Amino acid sequence: MDKSEPATSQALLHLISYVSRRHADRSDMTRYYSRSPSLHLQDHWLEAAGFEIDIPVVITVEQGQLVIRPAPE
């Protein structure tokens, strides 16, 4: 295996949850709340897969899956 391709073949199970956002008017009075689906990814496996801290990434949806790639330079 090439050093540029780390061994990260394990599957990880994560749950889609939601984030709640408060929408306020100009006087900071709450007008309404909205909920959006959310997926939080963290841990050392990201670095092992080649995603270093502070690098931009591109996330695309392809045939029912999310694909995360480092952004082109």
Per residue in 17-55, pLDDT (tens digit) is 999 999 999 999 999 999 999 999 888 888 888 898 999
Answer yes or no: is 28 within a domain. yes
Tell me if the pTM is above 0.75: no
Task: Say yes or no to pLDDT of 58 above 60.
Answer: yes
Those residues with Cβ within 8 angstroms of residue 72's Cβ, 6 or more apart along the chain or in another chain? 58
Residue 10 lies in a domain: no
The answer to whether 68 and 59 are in contact (CB under 8 A) is yes
* pLDDT attached to residue 1: 44
- Please give the residue range of the domain that contains residue 64: 17-70
pLDDT for 62 beyond 80: yes
Number of domains in the chain: 1
Comparing 4 with 16, the larger pLDDT belongs to: 16
> What's the chain's length in residues?
73
Residue 3 falls within a domain, yes or no?
no
Per-residue DSSP letter, 65: E
- Residue 56 located in a structural domain: yes
Residue 4 lies in a domain: no
